Structure 1
Amino acid sequence: MLYRNCIIRNAFGIILCSVMMGSQAFANVKEGSGKAMEPKEVQQQSIKISGTVSDDRGETIPGATVMIKGTTVGTTTDLNGEYSINVPNSKAVLEFRTIGYKPIEITVGTKRIINAVLYEDAQALDEVTVVAFGKQKKESLTSSITTVKPAELKVPASNLTTALAGSVAGMIAYQRSGEPGADNADFFVRGITTFGTNTNPLILIDGIELTTTDLARLQPDEIESFSIMKDATATALYGARGANGVILVTTKSGKNGPAKIQLRVENSISMPTQTIELADPITYMKLENEAVLTRNPLGQLPYSQSKIDGTIAGNNPILYPANDWQSMLMKDFTMNQRVNLSVSGGGGVARYYVAASFNRDNGLLKVDKRNNFNNNIQDNVYNLRANVNIDLSKTTEMIVRLNGNFEDYTGPLKSGSDTYKMIMHSNPVMFPAYYSATDANITTSHILFGGAVMGAEKGNFYTNPYAETVRGYQDKTRSQILAQLELKQNLEFLTKGLSARLMINIARLSQFAVKRSYTPFYYSMSTFDKATGRYTLNCLNTDGDGRGTEYLGFSEGDKVMTSSNYMEAAVDYNRTFGKHGVSGLLVFQGREEREGQANTLQLSLPSRNIGLSGRATYSFDQRYFGEFNFGYNGSERFDRKHRFGFFPSVGAAWVISNEKFFESVKNIVSNLKLRYSYGLVGNDQIGSSSDRFFYLSEVNMDTGGYTFGSDFKNKIPGVAVKRYANPDITWEVSRKQNFALEFGLFDKLNVIAEYYTEYRDHILMSRADIPSTMGLAAELRSNVGEASGKGVDLSLEYQQVFHKDLWASARANFTYATSKYEVYEESAYKEPWRYRVGTSLAQQYGYIAERLFVSDEEAANSPSQIGVGGTDEVEPARGGDIKYLDVNNDGVIDEKDMVPIGNPTTPEIVYGFGVSAGYKNFDFSIFFQGSANTSFWIDAGATAPFQNNTQLLKVYADSHWAEDHQDVYAVWPRLSRTKNVNNTVKSTWFMRDGAFMRLKQLEVGYSLPQKALNKMHLSNLRFYVSGSNLLNFSKFKLWDVEMGGNGLGYPLQRVFNIGFNLSFN
């Protein structure tokens, strides 16, 4: 009878109340009503208190327990998070509790409406963590899994991957481009430990393997859990796919209760974090003249003094053009919009979660009024998701998940990044962007683009970035449909703790693109009357293949069609016998993929793999935990003797804080745990996508050949081997080891410190010890490479509730990940510094630059630099050119003098830290992110001024070696108008420190008080302003340092955002 009264709709309330009050817990609670029934002595002078219980984001909490402190009188919140309770007097203290949140106490006093806000308790040992093919209590984990709160992934951007850097311990991440639709961040779990083809982690969303783009398009509002699996115990069940780590995402599902509607609307202003500063056109012309004279005093100057003077006067921009291509083609900022709507609820036998979202990201290209079409980037992404749980019976549950992601992209013919690079490689003073119509051209219906013929070849023109940008556009459409059916069956009628499930998933992806463009008419000025300012034009392309057109032509773009089918069947067992806990899991998986655009026999065949995975765990008295996992996978890519691989792992943990001898200090050290794991994980994603069957040769039966006969019309085709068969090629195998310490202080501060090692062998690579005299037509490859990695992950969380109106929290993450070559087959070198073994997998090689030569005489008396760059195009070095160190002292600077320079291109250190706080209805959060131990090389060839009409960077104009300013440490060496290999090869001269720290995110919000919400019939309404990439701290100033060597591309974006969240039942 007593336990019958404990049946409440929300299980959270049942468990908490049972723990707090024992079997009498609900003797005074009316079942499921949210109201309490008190003893008669309490009722005689009671005061009625009511209110709601919500979390710090304004979401109401059903099933939360509300108790009168010191009594057994209590209630639980209803499905809307509301409660009412009678208390004996104004001195009564109410306790609010629910699993996963810190309890709080509030004295009644004069209040009759008490709304309680609960904050997440990161130290809750009963917290459930998503693991491979299931869930485990956080306390029982022996593996390295980092769980990210979905709220921490909500950044004012449409790309989820941009939020990963610094937010996750163990994740190395960085972003190289800010172009809409092409702004995915690069991310690696514990860095890169292979020099094979695939370095990306396995991404699973609701158990289905998807791509980085799919993860980028995922809405944070739809995420229930986000986990990063790092060690072998966490990833071994994925066998041949888990060597690079696993990202596991679960989307939300419905819960019993009335329909709950949530809406998020955002509008943001996006602008470059930093733009490249160019020299003005006058300086450009003067220094290009200097570049000619400093190399050849008798050389012909490209610009006359009259042209320079006329440009300075600025009287006639047609005769003396001075184009600022960047301001002409690019806007200072753009506007973006994001909307997300979801409805969830359920009752009886079904629960549902349905969501729809729309993101519009616009580019920075200006829309020209002379065109009747929009060629700016506009990336519209639509997402629909429906997750429905249906109880077919008391023991059977069916889950249906449907997801559709649709993208409509419009943009320039070339990418936004290519447009920026085109601007950087276009002469600003050669011709105007366009001419106004003359009397002879008044009736033309096309734009009169400025142009100039390049060399003597007709139809080959210097680039006019304005013409190239506005002459057309492209449309891309991407559609992906995912349909998933899952059945869960409780088998406790056979034996307690036994269950089974079956999941089937079907995915279809299609993508196509079309390009529409015209050929510009290019004009040059043929005559000009200074008195009247009138001029005549000469069309440069009136005939031939390059003739201009006045209509949009059509060309097909890429077409992609793929399909995949996946099946997963599992049996799970979980049982407790006194102090002993045991569990077991056995999973079978099968996957098939087809490519619609296959162009070879091998690619036309469906790709298949199967696997069997298992897990067994044991625990004793919640103190000692052990775990064994394995993955047994088959891949069609390998010969029969290597087709299946077995990848086991073991893990153990000791929760010291649960020992009896620890009880005296547990009020200080609230948690102390040690973990260890070791295991093997594989990687079958080796070679290129065309390497389907390594054990078969690939032969081209129609290549080359010869002709014969009197008319030479008879042909015998040639035969060429494209790949030699190697039945010994097999998986990459990674041996991972992990040590971890977890501890908590005062139930407020939680720290996880981990040290890991990894050794990767059987890395596929080309053989370097096969002499060319063997006459092989293709390279030989085998699994001879080996690499290792090690590092440290640190995470820290702190939470403090000062009183009911004030709270604060802090978090920090630190990742240090290094790697090095252990075995790398390469040519035999006399110089030991040329070998890769012992260096980082992302190590750069180049020359050591000492300084610039003081004079021609010093250059002539120094080691010859003719061999720099391994080309015969190098002219003898002169004063002002870069002087390189002769490392091997042989009197010649060549490839033998190239050594490891700088830090790795991939950061070895990534970190992030931030604080959040709230006072009454206001909340605030700030987050910093940075990286270190990384270097990048300024591409001297791409930034060399004047060569191929490259623009002049202002920093080069301000600091370069000149006859009248012989600074041997200037930023740019002696100028040159033609290619100068000596000054553009990779060297320490242009190597820069890639370390930085940026203000990644800042947000301030205000939630309406409950009285106002009640009048509006809302559960929550919060307004907020936020920003990302607001400040950057770095030694490097030319462009945003996070872009690395891609600084001439589409810049990273600084975002200012305003939005609101609302929810109601």
Structure 2
Amino acid sequence: MMKKYATFFFLGMTALAPLASQAGATAADTSDRKVPAPQSLPAPGGVLPLRDTVPVLFGMQSSAKLLQSYGIVYNDALRNIPVTSVENALYGKLAGLSLAQNNLAPGEDGAAMSLRGASPLVVVDGVPRDITSIDPEQVASVSVLRDALATAMYGARAANGVVMIQTKHGYNGKKRISFTAQTAMQQMLQTPKFLGAYDYARLYNEALANDGRQPVYTQADLDAWKNGSDPYGHPDVNWYDKVLKDQAGMQRYNLNISGGNRISRYFVDLDYLNQKGYFVTDPNNTYKTNNFYQRFIFRSNVDVELTKTTLLNLSLAGRIRNSNEPGATTASIFNNIMSTPNNAYPVHNFDGSLGGNNDYQNNIYGQAVRSGYRPAYNRNLMADLNVTQRLDAFLPGLYVKGAFSLNTYYDETLNRSKSFAVYNVIPRPGQDTLINKIGTDGQQNNSSAIADDYRQAYTEFLVGYDSTFGSHHVGVTAVGFRDSYTSVRNLPLVNASIALRARYDFEEKYLLEFVMSRSYNNMYHPDNRWGYFPAAGIGWNIARESWFRSALPGISILKLRASYGITGNTSDAGYYQYIQYFNNTTSYNFGNPSTSAAAITEGVLANPGLAWEKTSKLNIGVDISALRDRLEFSAEYFRNRNTDLLMIRGDNASGIIGNSLPSENIGESVYKGMEFTAGFNGQAGALGYFVKGNLSFLQSRMEEMQEVRRAYDWNRRTGQPVNMQFGYVADGFYQNDDEIQKGPSPEGYSPVPGDIRYRDLNGDGTINLLDERPIFNGKPFFYYGLSAGLSWKGLDLNMTWQGVGNRDIYLGGANVWEFLNTSLNGGPGQAQESHLGRWTPQTAATATYPRLTVNGNVNNHRASTFWVKDGSYLRLKNLELGYTLPQRWISRLKLASIRAFASGYNLLTFTPLKNMDPEALFTGYPNQRIVNFGMNIQL
């Protein structure tokens, strides 16, 4: 059985593995262990696991004895999801981990991770790295470490939790070759619904009339747009259709070889990804203008036993990323699509030239195909060397390890863009047509810039001891490490720690663990660079008691655990903020009348007392495993108090002293919540099945932020959830002048019927800042996931659902409000189908949008509950159907297995939001549905 697990784990078997491994595990999980085969020596990061052990920081621990707040998901649950980054495959898999894709362009679509409300530290193969663009085929497991006991060894970088990625290693066995080919089709999800030219023009005239201005479109104009009789003079252009294709392809190919013997083991992987963009192209171009992303990854993990007591591990990894976009840039094109109305100009004039005018001088089609191109090149090289020496001859269970890692990163962008002219064609009856050229057809640029270039050097020395004395088990790990980032632009950033972890258990019943670290960061004043970070945990596995086993023999784990510790956060340390900087300037004014002259000015005030932020973490949990580990359940309560948060004081001192105030350790917040994980797996004849779900609740509160003095409690930001949105409480629309006369008056504005009416919270008859209050619901945010699967005679079906609730979002700005334009074009902005529900005297009883205006409205277009929407959603994140051919069919081909599969990503979404994706909220590049087909062949 153990051989079977090792084979599945390391060779990337695509036949359905033991089903419980498909979803995230908790500290109690034992039924879905998918780990490397046992080896005789510790590997990088600690002792290589047996079936009941899981990777933790600087080692391995038995899952039955684990006191940490911990979750893990293994390779089989990740590898066939059609995503470009491993983090995108984690949706709905792990309690406490929420994800959101804020940027969706090719090569930049990695989801932002939040662990219990904070951005976690990412650790890859024991080394903190800013890299998660790893092919899932190379990943053995992804773990989340949530409490202080799990992360305190990182000390001043441990407050936000850790996402730990372990890559695959070889095994002692016959060489296996695995090749996977996948091809996918990407389709855009929920693009905005813009108004056609006719509706746009009549609503624009209406908005002008509301502002007391004359209409700009005649009835003849409206008729031409309505019947489409003049496509050049009265265009109606759906820019999504003209500039973007309906779908874009994506391919991924992976080849890995693994195996070895007692002395040496290896895993070698080659991966290629090609992700296309949606922009249309012009066959006349001799260069590529569409946006795309190509990635080449190489990884080699080799373990060699130099002697019977010495293990060497060498890991080499390289990544090459090539990307491209139109010269106008992807962001600018999507911004213009979002802000250019359908009637602005034709794509082409009657003579084939690009349309445009003085208001809109950037033809969007021209930006896509005639603005040149911008390639980018990104290179990574990683090398990890680890040597572990067992010292059993001196003391059984004693070992030491030395590690060195070097990571180089280089990112270069090239500018091959060029300008192009547009033409405004004006027919003149009885005269020659007037053609105005706007802009120039410029030469192609030829420049390059280094976007980023840094080196990371990581060194580590570890001493470990693990031994059992009868019923007593003791484990001790002492480690010191130094992590240095050197950029071409800055002095090195150095983090270092000296840490100790001690564990004790008696017959796996009574569990104790203690961690202490002393951490260093060189960006603080020399007096503030070192700090101490302790943590401790205690547990009781009741199921190990003899009286309990006699009463309930079906329960193998009933573990109560608790931990408490103090961790730090240095992510906002800045760049030597304790030193006072002075800037050269050539625009300092002297005298009366003033004269501009060169001078040296004082920069932001320095803060010599700046220190790391601190988090005190309490975690209480219970883990249950029953029915021979087929049924699992875990529940946790946590409370994280963040103190010494870096903030700028909310008073007016900066105006008095004539300079900007520095960041200070003055803030305090609390995050608390509960997390639940449950799973069941079983076998009924040839039918295998599993189901596993998780549910997380998160509540935050800003305890202290040194805000300005507020007149009323409802104005105070202190005491509210972190990042609470404030604004007015909308109370319908003003219906007539009588309501306006009798009601409170907005300060500095004279409302008219159709404007949003606001509540006067303090009853003084005026709507102003004193009437602002929290406009989000303030309820605990919750997020959840459900994974389930079936297997039967070679067929397998797996799915993952993911969702969030109590999520309020604020919708405002040029992409929501009517006729606003913040793009490079310059003319009036877009309008959407939602604006058809605007208030008019005829629609007063049913209106869903305030009266229309041009160039914004200070009363209607301000933060209020009117613009707050329910952003909850439930999504079928992934669905996979596979079939493994019977062995009797492929045995003559000398193959181990052949599996064909089809999978989908973002297939279904349920949300109260209309005409928008709950993750891509009018941000430009749309979210996407992916349909994927693939085949895996193993030799």
TM-score when normalising by structure 2: 0.92
Q: Which moved more, 1:972-981 or 1:379-388?
A: 972-981
Question: Is the contact between residue 707 and residue 718 of structure 2 (CA under 8 Å) also seen in structure 1?
Answer: no
Tell me the distance in 1 between the aligned counterparts of 2:524 and 2:151.
22
**Is the CA contact (8 Å cut-off) linking 1:525 and 1:535 kept in structure 2?**
no
Q: Quick one: which amino acid aligns to residue 861 of structure 2?
A: T
Q: Which has the larger displacement, 626-635 or 463-472? A: 463-472
Structure 1 Cα separation of the partners of residues 874 and 627 of structure 2: 31
1:962 is the counterpart of 2:840: yes
Greater relative contact order (CA < 8 Å, ≥ 6 in sequence): 2
Partner of 1:262: 178
1:853, CA displacement in angstroms? 0.7
Q: How does 1:265-664 map to 2 (within 5 A)?
A: 265-296=181-212, 299-347=213-261, 349-369=263-283, 371-437=285-351, 448-454=353-359, 461-470=360-369, 471-528=371-428, 536-541=433-438, 547-549=439-441, 551-557=443-449, 559-596=451-488, 598=489, 603=490, 605-664=491-550
For the structure 1 residues 552 and 780, does the alpha-carbon distance in structure 2 shift closer, same or farther, using more than 3 Å as the test?
closer
Secondary structure of 2:394's counterpart equals: coil
Once the two structures are TM-superposed, the CA of residue 986 in structure 1 deviates from its matched residue by: 1.3
Q: Any conservation in 1 of the 2:362–2:422 contact (CA below 8 Å)?
A: no
User: Which moves more between the two structures, 310-319 or 124-133?
Assistant: 124-133
| AA at the equivalent of 1:386 | S
Determine the structure 1 residue equivalent to 2:744: 863
Distance across 1 between alignment mates of 2:275 and 2:733: 46
Deviation at 1:774, TM superposition (A): 4.1
CA RMSD of aligned residues (A): 2.8
Q: How far 1:57 moved relative to its partner?
A: 4.6
Larger displacement relative to structure 2 (401-410 or 463-472): 463-472
Tell me the distance in 2 between the aligned counterparts of 1:300 and 1:900.
39
Instruction: Write the letter of the residue equivalent to 1:189.
Output: L
Q: Tell me what 2:125 maps to.
A: 206
Q: Which amino acid aligns with 2:128?
A: E
Aligned counterparts of 1:912 and 1:999: Cα–Cα separation in 2: 10
Structure 2 residue aligned with 1:778: 660
Larger deviation, residues 769-778 vs 879-888: 769-778
Match of 2:45 in 1: none
Q: Distance in 2 between matches of 1:584 and 1:414?
A: 58
Distance change in 2, residues 1:537/1:347 (3 Å) = farther
- Quote the offset at 1:276 in angstroms: 1.5
Check 1:60–1:947 CA distance in 2 against 1; reply closer, same or farther (3 A cut).
closer
**CA 1:14–1:419 in structure 2 vs 1: closer, same or farther (change >3 Å)?**
closer
> Per-residue deviation at 1:98?
12
Q: Which amino acid aligns with 2:451?
A: K
790-799 or 365-374, larger mean C-alpha shift = 365-374
Gaps of 5+ in 2: 19-29, 36-48, 822-827
Relative to structure 1, is the Cα distance of residues 423 and 1057 closer, same or farther in structure 2, using a 3 angstrom cutoff? same
Alpha-carbon shift at residue 767 of structure 1 (Å): 2.2
Measure the CA separation in 1 of the matches of 2:815 and 2:3. 65
Structure 1 Cα separation of the partners of residues 937 and 527 of structure 2 = 59
Deviation at residue 170 of structure 1 after TM alignment: 1.1
Helix, strand or coil for the counterpart of 1:791? Answer: strand
1:1040, CA displacement in angstroms? Answer: 1.0
CA distance in 1, matches of 2:353, 2:445: 19
C-alpha separation between the residues in 1 aligned to 2:592 and 2:769? Answer: 49
Structure 2 counterpart SS, 1:553:
coil
What CA distance in whole angstroms lies between the structure 2 residues aligned with 1:701 and 1:761? 36
1:764 and 2:646 are equivalent in the alignment: yes
Q: Distance in 1 between matches of 2:923 and 2:532?
A: 46
- Change beyond 3 A, Cα 1:821–1:452: same
Separation (CA, whole Å) in 1 of partners of 2:5 and 2:191? 57
CA deviation digits over 1:874-924, x for unaligned, max 9? x5211011111111222221222111012469x821101121001111111
Amino acid at match of 1:1029: N
Cα separation, 1, equivalents of 2:135 and 2:872: 30
How many residues were matched structurally?
A: 903
Q: Conserved in 1, the CA contact under 8 Å of 2:397 and 2:466?
A: yes
Structure 2 match to 1:1053: 928
Residue 147 of structure 2 aligns to which amino acid in structure 1? Answer: D
Render the CA deviation track for 1:232-265: whole Å, top value 9, x for unaligned.
0000001011100001111111112232111111
What displacement does 1:480 show? 0.7
What is the CA–CA distance in structure 1 between the aligned matches of 2:17 and 2:902, rounded to whole Å?
A: 23
Aligned match of 2:52 in 106, 121, 127? 127
For 2:65 and 2:923, the matched residues in 1 are separated by 50
In the alignment, which residue of structure 2 is the partner of 1:978?
855
- The residue aligned with 2:138 is 222
Matched, 1:789 2:671: yes
SS at match of 2:668: strand
Distance 1:701 1:314, change over 3 A: closer
Q: 1:736 to 1:918 in 2, by over 3 A?
A: same
- Contact 2:16–2:796 (8 Å) recurs in 1: no
| Distance apart, 1:101 and its partner CA | 8.5
Query: Equivalents in 2 of 1:762, 1:148: separation in Å?
Result: 34
Deviates more, 1:834-843 or 1:574-583: 834-843
SS in 1 for 2:610: coil
Cα deviations across residues 20-41 of structure 1 (Å, max 9, x unaligned)? xxxxxxxxxxxxxxxxxxxxxx
TM-superposed CA distance for 1:400, in Å, is: 0.7
The answer for the alignment partner of 1:680 in structure 2 is: 566
Trace 1:814-829 onto structure 2 (pairs within 5 A). 814-829=695-710
- Distance in 2, Cα, partners of 1:834 & 1:59: 56
Q: Evaluate the alpha carbon distance shift between residue 741 and residue 1038 of structure 1 in structure 2; reply closer, same or farther with a 3 A threshold.
A: same
Matches within 5 A, 1:89-168: 100=33, 127-154=52-79, 155-168=81-94
Flag the 1:1005–1:494 CA change in 2: closer, same or farther, 3 A. same
**Equivalent position SS for 1:723:** coil
Provide the rounded CA distance (Å) in 2 between the counterparts of 1:705 and 1:284.
Answer: 48
The residue that corresponds to 2:830 in the other structure is 951
Answering whether residue 785 of structure 2 is matched by residue 936 of structure 1, we say no
AA aligned to 1:570 is L
How many angstroms apart in 2 are the aligned matches of 1:453 and 1:99?
A: 65
* Equivalent residue in structure 2 for 1:989, among 866, 873, 896: 866
Shift, 1:467, TM fit: 2.5
Report how far residue 727 of structure 1 moved.
2.5
Deviation at 1:138, TM superposition (A): 0.6
Offset of residue 773 of structure 1: 6.4
SS of residue in 1 equivalent to 2:683: strand
Greater Rg by CA:
1
Amino acid of the structure 1 residue aligned with 2:663: R
Match among 736, 741, 747 for residue 622 of structure 2: 741
Deviations 1:217-245 (A, max 9, x none): 11111112211000000000010111000
SS of corresponding position for 1:420: helix
Give the corresponding residue for 2:783: 910
Structure 2 Cα separation of the partners of residues 361 and 13 of structure 1: 37
- Is 2:11–2:177's contact at 8 Å kept on the other side of the alignment? no
**Are 1:524 and 1:540, in contact at CA under 8 Å, matched by a contact in 2?**
yes
Distance 1:54 1:292 in 2: 67
Deviation at 1:963, TM superposition (A): 2.8
1:34-54 deviations in Å (ceiling 9; x for gaps) = xxxxxxxxxxxxxxxxxxx99
* Secondary structure in structure 1 of the residue aligned to 2:281: coil
2:15 counterpart of 1:58: yes
The within-5 A match list for 1:784-863 is 784-803=666-685, 805-863=686-744
Deviations 1:574-599 (A, max 9, x none): 01111111111110101222111x2x
Q: 1:179 aligns with which of 105, 122, 141?
A: 105
Residue type of the partner of 1:698? Y
Give the 3 Å change call, closer, same or farther, for CA 855–555 of structure 1 in structure 2: farther
- 1:58 Cα deviation (Å)? 3.4
